[in-house]
Structure 1
Amino acid sequence: MSDTNEKDTKEPAKGGRTLSVSRTTVEQSKVRQNFSHGRSKTVVVETRRKRVLGTPGAAGKPAAKIPQPAPPSPDIPAAPAKKPVPAPEAAAKGGLTSGEQQAREKALAEAKVRAVEEEVDRTRQVELDALKAAEEAQAKSEREAEEARLAAETARKQTKDQQSAPAPIPDADPASIKEGATARTRGKPKKENKPAQPQRPTKGEQERRRGKLTIGNALTGDRERNRSVAAFKRRMERQKKQAAGLSSAPQEKQFREVIIPEVITIQELANRMAERAVDIIKSLMKQGQMHQINDIIDSDTAQLIAEEFGHTVKRVSESDVEEGIMGDEDDEADMLPRPPVVTVMGHVDHGKTSLLDALRKENVVAGEAGGITQHIGAYQVETDNGLITFLDTPGHAAFTAMRARGAQATDIVILVVAADDGVMPQTVEAIKHAKEAGVPIIVAINKIDVVGADPTRVRTDLLSHEIVVESMSGDVLEVEVSATKGTNLDKLLDTILLQSEILEIKANPDRPADGMVVEAQLDRGRGAVATMLVQRGTLKIGNIIVAGRAWGKVRALIDDKGNNVAQAVPSQPVEVLGLNSPPEAGDQLVVVESEAQAREITDYRIRKIREARGTSTSAMTLEQMMNQLKEADRREVSILLKADVQGSAEAIVQALDKLSTKEVTARVIHHAAGGINESDIELAKASDAVIFGFNVRANKQARELATQTGREIRYYNIIYDLVDDVKAAMSGLLDPTLRETFLGNAEVLEVFNVSKVGKVAGCRVTEGKVQRGAKVRLIRDNVVVHDGELSTLKRFKDEVKEVVGGQECGMAFENYQDMRAGDVIECFTVEAIDRTIDELLDQEK
């Protein structure tokens, strides 16, 4: 069978068989490619050799006689490969077919590509080998020099066995790694004195860094890839650092200037000191404080820790954002005269606003509700000798804060006292505010034309408050005036100008402005509007201003006559538009450089107020807790207040706070300037509060929502009426006073048992009278044993309404049967009397 197969394979190819390219010219080999994480891939590489073609006449010979190609050797001539391609007709005579021709051309092209790639790889490898050899030689020389120096130092330190330093090791052949290693070993000093050398990378690291497969790697088989230039540079850097670390001295600790705010976390403190947070925690533990890395410590503790570590400390505070916003003090050379600011103060209905109207020749009193001033009015009056700025303050008791602000912003106080009324409580309060502000007082004795006016009595009454007028050898100027008839108004103006000249009132107009907010409100069409008085500098449109918790850019300035102005000079009152919210009355208004600074200042102020509120509510002592439990039983009237200006709302809140007693209180859950809107209705609904509007109205949506929710909205334009209604509501919550009225006494003579009624006491009225339905007390041995009501009162089996003294009757009690002979029955009535909040306030005083 095998012989037959051998014969079949050695038979010559017949003419009808298709010719094919023999595979004897192709050699195959396998190359394993390794990747990271233990992955590998086997690649089959085929090596094609050039085919040697025979003569055209040899095509018809048997295939068995075709000589087999021998392995490539130097003896094989290259001439057959350069023979020209046979003509097309040779295929018919037994030459190459078209498929063989294409395969041959493809093999030739691939051979050329491989030759080019091999040449590029060889060139690159030669360059890498040269660079590596140069770097190795340089590193070796540096290492040998370092070893020699270390050996010399070691030899000098050895006192027992001194030996000369070994000679430098000659350069080893880079190609012979083994011999070089042996030579270095022989030339090294003793092992105990040898400096630490970096560990040589293992074979596993090289295998891990094996890159992608190239033709050069495939042809070289399993030869390991050389280290890259970058890896070699990194290795040399590590060796240099280690050598420097062994030879150099330890690095000195750096001391820094640490900025410490009011509170700081341990982690942040460690970062600023460039210390480990663990060391800071250990230091705190030594002081008896247990903390974690994210805990907050105060600035004093942080300063102690920083100084303990040797650093210098610079303390900063959040309030530093407000430093310098008021500017420096002005030089005397830059100061110019300015109009005086005069505040008119006095008791209610003493004619303050009427006097100001007479000076301005306008009628402001007619525009005030009830004829009383409820806002601070700021005006400027032009005289022959210059301008005078007037501030009109309310005289009602509820506007104490307004009068205090008026005294702080003024240069001169005009104390108006009615000649027919004399010194009143608000007059005394105005004197107190003027003295606290340290401003001079001019007494204006008004209403001298009224019947019963007595200016002398006014001067005498002022003496008791340490106000000695000029006519009584004092230093306080006084003027007798009549606002209605215009008497002595010119004299009053001259007195004001004279006082201002004595004071030498000056200001620097060429600087950023600052002033005081006199009043603030929220206008529906214009937004937040602040009435301010410029005290220094010049306020211009476009300035960035800060007033309390509000800030903004000045969009418009309006003077007291309603005209738009481009700037406001010192002592000029103006309305400022452009703030983001209404400021508080009395806030200081300043001009800052940028919006970022203004926003930073207001954010800090808002945050401080929020923290203060949180602290006041969170920290509570036992006494405060007990007081709070007592107040839990106290009834209250909840009020939501909206006013036209901030000052009026503040005055109303202060007036309502004074009405609070131990039994009932008026609690204002919210107050603000502006109209009543839907959010106010929702808040009042949630708090079960009554809505009060002072000189404001609710919009349509708010009115509809109030009707749906059943909330009551009350409008007021006079503060008296608002306070009186709150008093009435609070009085309705007070428990009435029970008053007993004695009627008479009766003595029990005998006790009878009556069917369907129970026990009935036969009594004789000894004093007064006894009425059916009245309250009774059963007294036995001078001790009250029962309180109740009479259910039955009979005389001779007839029901009667009352029994007078000296008569006998029968009495039965409700739900009580234990009556004995000799007991005394006391009969009385109880009357409930309503109390008022004024009575309760008088009792608590």
Structure 2
Amino acid sequence: MTDTKTGDDKTLSVEKKKTLTLKRPSVEQGTVRQNFSHGRSKSVVVETKKRKFSRPDERPETTPAPAPAPAAAKPKPAAPQPAPQRQRERPRPAPGGNRSGVVLNELSKDEIEARRRALQDSKVREAEERQRAAEEAKRRAEEDARREREREESARRQAEEEARLKAEAEARREAEEEARRRAPPPAEAKPEPEVDSDDEARSKSKGAPVKRAAPKPEVPRPAAKPRGDDQRRRGKLTLNRALSDDGETRGRSLSSMRRRQEKFKRAQHQEPREKISREVVLPETITIQELAQRMAERAVDVIKFFMKQGQMLKPGDVIDADTAELVAEEFGHTVKRVAESDVEEGLFNVEDKAEDLKPRPPVVTIMGHVDHGKTSLLDAIRHANVVSGEAGGITQHIGAYQVEQGGQTITFIDTPGHAAFTAMRARGAEATDIAILVVAADDSVMPQTIESINHAKAAGVPIIVAINKIDKPEADANKVRTELLQHEVFVESMGGEVLDVEVSAVKGTNLDRLLEAVLLQSEVLELKANPDRSAEGVVIEAKLDRGRGSVATVLVQAGTLHTGDIIVAGNEWGRVRALVNDRGEQLKEAPPSMPVEILGLQGTPLAGDRIAVVESEARAREISEYRQRLAREKSVARQAGQRGSLEQMMSQLQDTGLKEFPLIVKGDVQGSIEAIAGALDKLGTDEVRARIVHSGAGAITESDVSLAETSEAAIIGFNVRANKQARDAAEAAGIEIRYYNIIYDLVDDIKAAMSGLLSPERRETFLGNAEILEVFNVSKVGKVAGCRVTEGKVERGAGVRLIRDSVVIHEGKLKTLKRFKDEVSEVPAGQECGMAFENYEDIRPGDVIEAYRVEMVTRTL
């Protein structure tokens, strides 16, 4: 009763105050704000027809409100909610009292109406949110279902395509097997239509409604024109084909169709080709392009591999063997490492069988000090005049000759004895079996004699001592033997094992004994070689002959050298055009231990280079290019080490003041050039040195003059001359060409020229001391010191130092030097004089004046 009455009162109060209630603005009616993630929101207009609840104030006035009591009772569940801020301090109703009545009395009607509207709005918003959530869930479900259908459709299409391709491949394989079973068919048998295999393939893949992917129309051929497999492969015209084909063009072969199908499959599925593992030969360095070609891979793929490793390279970049091996193994290939030096493998030191070895003549080198009679001794042995051809009686070249003694042949190599030819003599010792040490009985052991002993010992060859010039009155052979003991050369007469022979080259004394000693020593050595193999040897001398080209004097050490052989000598190669012996005769072949001149080399080798016969020009060219490349790399490295950076060069010039004397040296033979270079190198000091810009064997040409003009170098010719064009060019450019035929003169002139580059030496000479007795002030002159010369003398214009308490306080020149009232040139000791300094007047009695003279002395190397 109470609740009903209370509800009626509330309803009446609401209807009575209907026109005064708070009504929401029309703009906000039906507007709901939708919140999204990240703080986004959106206003959504909600139509009235979609609402499940309508607000009471929006109902038509003519429509009565049904069941007012239940509508008024609806806010009852909201009573426990916290009241607005202004109502929280109101007293609570007494327990057991009418709670609704208290609320009705406490709350105004406007507040009740506002609460009811808020409740209804919240219910409307909840309903709308539930509806939106349901729609969103439905939309997501539809999207997931659509994606699932698309995946299933894609998988189905892929499976159909694979099934179709598999069926076609199976059909072609069966067709090929059927064709192989039928071949060769009888001549009168009808060729089976080849289209059946295609029909069968289509029937196998008919379950999948997919169109054929073969783009060419030639694959499905009509069944009305059957062709046999053998005719299709051979393309021959037979009687049956001529009668049945009506001039049909030749169809595709099975291999062509298979290749096209595989290409299409690779394009569709990006299937990689079958990997073929190769053995890749890797040198010490290789470019990326060359590596890719040897692996049969694309250079782009190799570069991509390096990019994955963090390296940006180009196809032309060079990588080392270790890196190339890693790349090749990564691509699935095996590696075979080879070195560039492998091109020389098997070229030298070929092992010979003992039964193939035969005795050979000994190779004897004549060594000793300069002017001890080596060439004269060889001249006496050969009965020919060799010395007369040498400038100044000095041997400038290595010569090789053969002589006979008792039916046996001996090869002699004559080496120069001058110190500049040490390197040539060292090579001569390496190519020899026995060394004859020539010592003059009147000079005894000299410095180059000791060098010859050392070279022979380093080469491990036995020594025979030839004591020459015993015909001279001052000759003392025992003195020679005694001095040789100091250098561990023990002759037989002194209880040793070294043979010694006293000879006279002028009178021919004991020459036979010397040759017999050589033959005896060779028998002890048991010298043998295999003449039936490819030849090996050493270059004794090389020169550039104007008429014959590059000429090399070669000593054959093993095998037999024939005309027409392809040889490699150092960095050069060529075909032997001619073999010339020491007497100028042309030979067909040169056996072991024979010295010959070889014509036909592409360039001039260096003295001491080893030669070998190769089987083909290709290998000879390959070896030559490899050696030339090595020589270039060494030269560049050496120049880089000497030159350094620009800053190092400038600092070196500032710190050391190093000056260079550029030269261009042209000689008749390579050995002379090496000797000149060695002699000039020894002349260098910390201040000045000779720099050989270019050297070579042959005449002075116009290109040498151009190089000299560019590098501001002097040109030196040793036993060569300049042609007319070179002379004219040198005269026009103002370049001096100097000719020499004796190495002494050349070295002396270069030494004098290099001495001119040395800065003169400042030399100071003490003159005397004078003591200041009194200082006078003279008008227009200044302070003048009255002095007495205590030591030496004082000269006018000399340098002077003012010394006070043993400390130099001024250094300058004298302005005036007077004795009494006259100007004098000098004042000796014990006399008095007047002196005045230039631009200095701080002089006191008791100071000491020291006089000196400065001289600039020219220095020499």
Cα distance between partner residues in 2 of 1:682 and 1:201: 71
Task: Indicate which of 392, 395, 400 corresponds to 1:370.
Answer: 392
Secondary structure of 1:436's partner?
helix
Please show how residues 582-601 of structure 1 align to structure 2 within 5 Å.
582-601=604-623
Matched, 1:533 2:518: no
CA deviations 1:158-195 (Å, max 9, x no partner) are xxxxxxxxxxxxxxxx9xxxxxx9x999x737xxxx9x
Task: Indicate which of 586, 611, 620 corresponds to 1:564.
Answer: 586
Residue equivalent to 1:696: 720
Letter in 1 for 2:508: G
Please show how residues 544-563 of structure 1 align to structure 2 within 5 Å.
544-563=566-585
Residue equivalent to 1:825: 849
Contact 1:325 1:590 (C-alpha < 8 Å) held by counterparts:
yes
Letter in 1 for 2:167: E
Task: Indicate which of 703, 707, 710 corresponds to 2:731.
Answer: 707
Contact 1:197 1:239 (C-alpha < 8 Å) held by counterparts:
no
Task: Indicate which of 330, 341, 350 corresponds to 1:328.
Answer: 350
Tell which deviates more after alignment, 272-281 or 495-504: 272-281
Residue equivalent to 2:340: 318
Tell which deviates more after alignment, 542-551 or 399-408: 542-551
Residue equivalent to 1:117: none
CA deviations 1:71-129 (Å, max 9, x no partner) are xxxxxxxxxxxxxxxxxxxxxxxxxxxxxxxxxxxxxxxxxxxxxxxxxxxxxxxxxxx
Distance 1:828 1:616, change over 3 A: same
Cα distance between partner residues in 2 of 1:149 and 1:490: 97
Residue equivalent to 2:207: 188
Please show how residues 108-123 of structure 1 align to structure 2 within 5 Å.
none
Residue equivalent to 1:400: 422
Contact 1:649 1:673 (C-alpha < 8 Å) held by counterparts:
yes
Cα distance between partner residues in 2 of 1:517 and 1:737: 47
Cα distance between partner residues in 2 of 1:598 and 1:201: 56
Cα distance between partner residues in 1 of 2:717 and 2:262: 83
Task: Indicate which of 663, 680, 688 corresponds to 1:664.
Answer: 688
Distance 1:470 1:385, change over 3 A: farther
Please show how residues 210-289 of structure 1 align to structure 2 within 5 Å.
253-274=275-296, 280=302, 284=306
Matched, 1:675 2:699: yes
Letter in 1 for 2:546: R
Contact 1:147 1:188 (C-alpha < 8 Å) held by counterparts:
no
Contact 1:772 1:802 (C-alpha < 8 Å) held by counterparts:
yes
Task: Indicate which of 417, 435, 441 corresponds to 1:413.
Answer: 435
Deviation at residue 634 of structure 1 after TM alignment: 1.6
Distance 1:146 1:545, change over 3 A: closer
Residue equivalent to 1:810: 834
Deviation at residue 438 of structure 1 after TM alignment: 1.3
Q: TM-score, normalised by structure 2?
A: 0.68
Cα distance between partner residues in 2 of 1:518 and 1:768: 67
Cα distance between partner residues in 2 of 1:249 and 1:776: 100
Cα distance between partner residues in 1 of 2:553 and 2:168: 86
CA deviations 1:10-54 (Å, max 9, x no partner) are xxxxxxxxxxxxxxxxxxxxxxxxxxxxxxxxxxxxxxxxxxxxx
Task: Indicate which of 699, 706, 710 corresponds to 1:686.
Answer: 710
Secondary structure of 1:553's partner?
strand
Tell which deviates more after alignment, 822-831 or 487-496: 822-831
CA deviations 1:790-831 (Å, max 9, x no partner) are 231112221011223343322223344444444332111123
Tell which deviates more after alignment, 653-662 or 748-757: 748-757
Contact 1:534 1:573 (C-alpha < 8 Å) held by counterparts:
yes
Deviation at residue 760 of structure 1 after TM alignment: 3.2
Cα distance between partner residues in 2 of 1:714 and 1:286: 64
Cα distance between partner residues in 2 of 1:149 and 1:663: 90
Secondary structure of 1:500's partner?
helix
Please show how residues 392-791 of structure 1 align to structure 2 within 5 Å.
392-618=414-640, 626=648, 629-630=651-652, 633-791=657-815
Cα distance between partner residues in 2 of 1:246 and 1:704: 77
Cα distance between partner residues in 2 of 1:668 and 1:248: 65
Cα distance between partner residues in 1 of 2:169 and 2:484: 106
Q: Share of identical aligned residues, percent?
A: 65
Letter in 2 for 1:424: M
CA deviations 1:318-347 (Å, max 9, x no partner) are 333222333732222222222111000011
Distance 1:718 1:231, change over 3 A: closer
Deviation at residue 836 of structure 1 after TM alignment: 2.3
Residue equivalent to 1:84: none
Distance 1:624 1:317, change over 3 A: farther
Secondary structure of 1:658's partner?
helix
Cα distance between partner residues in 2 of 1:483 and 1:449: 9
Cα distance between partner residues in 2 of 1:449 and 1:551: 49
Cα distance between partner residues in 1 of 2:652 and 2:775: 48
Residue equivalent to 1:301: 323
Distance 1:658 1:311, change over 3 A: same
Cα distance between partner residues in 2 of 1:719 and 1:600: 38
Deviation at residue 371 of structure 1 after TM alignment: 1.4
Cα distance between partner residues in 1 of 2:706 and 2:272: 71
Cα distance between partner residues in 2 of 1:680 and 1:686: 10
Residue equivalent to 1:27: none
Tell which deviates more after alignment, 579-588 or 811-820: 811-820
Matched, 1:146 2:167: yes
Residue equivalent to 2:154: none
Cα distance between partner residues in 2 of 1:602 and 1:658: 32
Letter in 2 for 1:693: G
Distance 1:312 1:727, change over 3 A: same
Root-mean-square deviation over aligned CA pairs: 3.7
Secondary structure of 1:777's partner?
strand
Distance 1:240 1:339, change over 3 A: closer
Number of aligned residue pairs: 638
Tell which deviates more after alignment, 497-506 or 456-465: 456-465
Letter in 1 for 2:798: A
Matched, 1:384 2:406: yes
Distance 1:286 1:794, change over 3 A: same
Distance 1:414 1:808, change over 3 A: same
Distance 1:385 1:627, change over 3 A: farther
Secondary structure of 2:388's partner?
helix
Contact 2:470 2:502 (C-alpha < 8 Å) held by counterparts:
yes
Secondary structure of 1:516's partner?
strand
Distance 1:755 1:522, change over 3 A: farther
Letter in 2 for 1:746: A
Tell which deviates more after alignment, 680-689 or 349-358: 680-689
Secondary structure of 2:683's partner?
coil
Secondary structure of 2:755's partner?
helix
Letter in 1 for 2:837: F
Cα distance between partner residues in 2 of 1:623 and 1:719: 35
Deviation at residue 404 of structure 1 after TM alignment: 0.7
Secondary structure of 1:730's partner?
helix
Cα distance between partner residues in 2 of 1:834 and 1:357: 46
